Amino acid sequence: MTIHAHPEAPKHAADLPEWRLDDLYAGREDPRIEQDLEAARQANADLLELKGKLVAARRDPQRLGAVLARAIGLYEQATNKLWAVGAYASLQTSVAREDQAWAKFEGDMRARASQIGSESLFFTLEINQLDEAEIEAALRANPEAAHFRPWLRRVRLVRDHELSAEMERMVNDRAPALSNWSRLYDEALSRMTVKVGRESLNLPQALNRLSDPDPASRKTAATGLAKALEDNSPTIALCLNTLAFEKQIEDRWRRFKDPARSRHLANEVDPEAVQALEEAVVEHYPRLSHRYYALKAKALGKRTLDHWDRNAPLDQEQPRQYDWDEAKSLVLSSFDQLAPAFADKARSFFDHPWIDARPRPGKSSGAYSHPVTADKHPYVFMNFMGERRDVLTLAHELGHAVHQTLASPLGTLLADTPLTLAETASIFGEGLVFDRLLAEAKGAERRLLLAGKIEDGLNTVVRQIAFHRFESEFHAARQQGELSPEHIGGLWLQVMGESLGPAVKLNPGYEHYWAYVSHFVHSPFYVYAYAFGDLLVEALMEKRLEDPKGFAPAYETLLSGGGSKTYVEALKPFGLDPRQKAFWERGLGRLERLVDEFEALA
């Protein structure tokens, strides 16, 4: 989940942790990098020797099972080495965006990994030449191969959308060059200067000013941000248009009728479930976002909110600040209430240099937990500024880290979790901390916390579904040709206006705000996973209330399953089915009840 950093460093910023990546490699010249790339190359060379042997063994279950087991083992070995190098390059570059040497290193490693990985492209293509019955017989005959049944299921999902071996290699080989459009986008935003009065802010700093208690400060920041985004919109629009056009071409060759379909397959989610989610959220716009923003406007003494007031605090006081030790204590004690094992897993990230929380020049905005590979450990990245939302972000990312740690015994191929379940532990962890804060709050403080929780929910559910609808509109329009920044801005205003409602005024300049949403460039159609995960967690938290003691072991089983089960299989023990619209309405109802309580406390 993305966060933003204040222009002023928090107190005791020098005491905030920075990660050490020497568990991976000691630097760009570390000989282990070349050793691991060579090991990946050798594993793929050994795998290449098995080319044709899967098809040749299709009538012999014992032989096919043995070949599958060896081949998948080699494939995972190569994956571990390539992903470790790639993770190191990405992690190090994310804290050194101003260092072109690291940018070059990341680009070079991406290109080399792609070249090495090309040698294994035949493997999944050959798997998909086999019939279902042939694979099933082989798995029954070989327990080692049967371990990888869930991975094989995911490979088979794209069977109808694969290209020839030569075409697949071409797509793979040109991917590093195509990714430079994303790099151009990142560098444009990281170098962007936002003029706010006499100050020159970067993007995260400017975004954070939109939550400043001072209305004039918010307005000035919003105006400066709009101007900076407008100035950069030709470059950003070109990036977005080019990547969308490239996606159209590949989708056409792969026979995807819907631009979101490839994401649904990767998530192992039914399009009908996403459609039910979208419909349920849109139907709740009036009862959630429209209603809440009208209440907030009234609370701020206004008839309507300017768009820069959307995340404004309800009072003029500076929000309470938390130091790192307080944040750590809150997160660990909240996790411990769920189960001590969860707190123990999270504590290891504080005990080791596995968290980078200190804001500094050249560091990217945002927050994430990078799993690296199953035979390594995750790293947590964030910019801790000491606000309540930073505490919640810490809980969110540590939820990811615990999830990734619990799933690691499965191995990299099976631990890799679809987005729809990947957000489950993170949002659950965040919810545990919020419940702890809310339980201890009274009166005005409780109302402020409710406002924060509601706004987080609206940003995670309503806003992300609006983003999803904007993407759908943009990709549909891109079919007719390139879109100008003005055209893109018009789509943005239409979709966001629907979601925010009449109580929010979209002032001039807001039409450029689509340009800073990095998911549109990096991960098309990713955003609905946030809403999916948030509402799924709401349902799980309801289940926890029914049986707190019985919930924890069942929940640990869900997380430990990584990507070995589909979301339907993973949620079946809880009696939940996200393919039903009623499922989403239950979660939305919980958010609506928070709005009810907020109104009652007015």
Domain limit, last residue, from 119, 154, 178: 178
Distance CA 476, CA 120 (A): 34
Domain limit, last residue, from 178, 205, 237: 178
* Residue 196 tokens, joined: 């706010």
- Give yes or no for a contact between 393 and 427, defined as CB atoms under 8 angstroms apart: no
In this model, does residue 357 exceed pLDDT 60? yes
Q: Are strands 379-381 and 355-356 parallel, antiparallel or unpaired?
A: parallel
Q: What is the pTM for the complete model shown?
A: 0.81
Q: What is the DSSP string of 90-120?
A: HHHHHT-TT-HHHHHHHHHHHHHHHHHHGGG
Percent of the chain whose predicted confidence (pLDDT) is above 90 = 71
What CATH number has the domain bearing residue 552? 1.10.1370.40
Residue 370: phi and psi, rounded to 5, are -95, 120
Helices (H) and strands (E) in the chain, counts: 29, 7
Distance CA 264, CA 520 (A): 16
Distance CA 65, CA 505 (A): 62
Handedness of CA 510, 516, 521, 525 (dihedral sign): negative
pLDDT of residue 2: 40
The per-residue pLDDT for range 210-254, each reduced to its tens digit, is: 989 899 999 999 999 999 999 999 999 999 999 999 999 999 999
In this model, does residue 259 exceed pLDDT 80? yes
Q: Are strands 368-370 and 305-306 parallel, antiparallel or unpaired?
A: unpaired
Looking at residue 386, what DSSP letter applies? S
- Give yes or no for a contact between 95 and 363, defined as CB atoms under 8 angstroms apart: yes
In a domain? residue 235: no
Rg (CA), the chain: 24
Alpha carbon 529 to its chain centroid, in Å, reads: 8
The per-residue pLDDT for range 303-348, each reduced to its tens digit, is: 999 999 999 998 766 668 899 999 999 999 999 988 888 999 999 9
In a domain? residue 281: no
Can you list the alpha helix ranges (DSSP code H) found in 197-323?
Answer: 203-209, 215-254, 261-267, 271-283, 291-299
Domain limit, last residue, from 178, 197, 230: 178
The CA distances from residue 459 to 304, 527, 534, in Å, are: 19, 11, 11
In a domain? residue 85: yes
- Neighbour count for residue 278 (Cβ, 10 Å): 18
The per-residue pLDDT for range 80-96, each reduced to its tens digit, is: 999 999 999 999 999 99
The per-residue pLDDT for range 379-415, each reduced to its tens digit, is: 999 999 898 889 999 999 999 999 999 999 999 999 9
Residue with tokens 């005990």: 351
Distance CA 517, CA 525 (A): 12
Distance CA 360, CA 377 (A): 24
The per-residue pLDDT for range 13-47, each reduced to its tens digit, is: 768 999 999 999 999 999 999 999 999 999 999 99
Handedness of CA 255, 258, 261, 262 (dihedral sign): positive
Q: Which residue range(s) make up the domain with 565?
A: 324-443+528-570
User: Lowest-confidence range among 144-158, 341-355, 407-421?
Assistant: 407-421
Per-residue pLDDT band for 5 (boundaries 50, 70, 90) equals very low
Distance CA 583, CA 569 (A): 15
Q: What is the mean pLDDT of residues 194-216?
A: 91
Q: Which residue has the higher pLDDT, 534 or 486?
A: 486
**Torsion-angle region of 164 (φ positive above 0: left; ψ -120 to 50: alpha; else: beta):** beta
* Residue 134 tokens, joined: 């042939």
In a domain? residue 265: no
End-to-end CA distance of the chain: 30
What CATH number has the domain bearing residue 105? 1.20.140.70
3-state secondary structure 410-450: HCHHHHCCCHHHHCHHHHHHHHHHHHHHHHCCCHHHHHHHH
In a domain? residue 55: yes
Distance CA 512, CA 491 (A): 11
37, 42, 43, 49 alpha-carbon torsion, rounded to 10°? 150
pLDDT of residue 4: 39
Q: What is the mean pLDDT of residues 550-568?
A: 90
In a domain? residue 309: no
* Residue 389 tokens, joined: 């939302």
Q: What is the DSSP string of 312-362?
A: --SSSSPPPP--HHHHHHHHHHHHHHH-HHHHHHHHHHHHTT-EE----TT
C-alpha angle 358/363/368, rounded to 5°? 75
Residue 381: phi and psi, rounded to 5, are -120, 130
Distance CA 177, CA 360 (A): 29
The per-residue pLDDT for range 469-484, each reduced to its tens digit, is: 999 999 999 999 999 9
Percent of the chain whose predicted confidence (pLDDT) is above 70 = 97
In this model, does residue 539 exceed pLDDT 90? no
Distance CA 602, CA 586 (A): 25
In a domain? residue 32: yes
Can you list the alpha helix ranges (DSSP code H) found in 442-547?
Answer: 443-457, 463-478, 485-500, 519-522, 528-546
pLDDT of residue 217: 95
The CA distances from residue 123 to 35, 70, 129, 190, in Å, are: 24, 12, 10, 39
Residue 360: phi and psi, rounded to 5, are -165, 160
Looking at residue 317, what DSSP letter applies? S
Number of structural domains the chain divides into: 2
SS3 content of the chain, % helix, strand, coil (to 5): 70, 5, 25
Distance CA 436, CA 599 (A): 21
The per-residue pLDDT for range 82-140, each reduced to its tens digit, is: 999 999 999 999 999 889 999 999 999 999 999 999 889 899 999 999 999 999 999 99
Task: Give the chain's mean pLDDT.
Answer: 92
Q: What is the largest CA-CA distance in the chain?
A: 76
In a domain? residue 54: yes
Distance CA 156, CA 132 (A): 9
In this model, does residue 3 exceed pLDDT 70? no
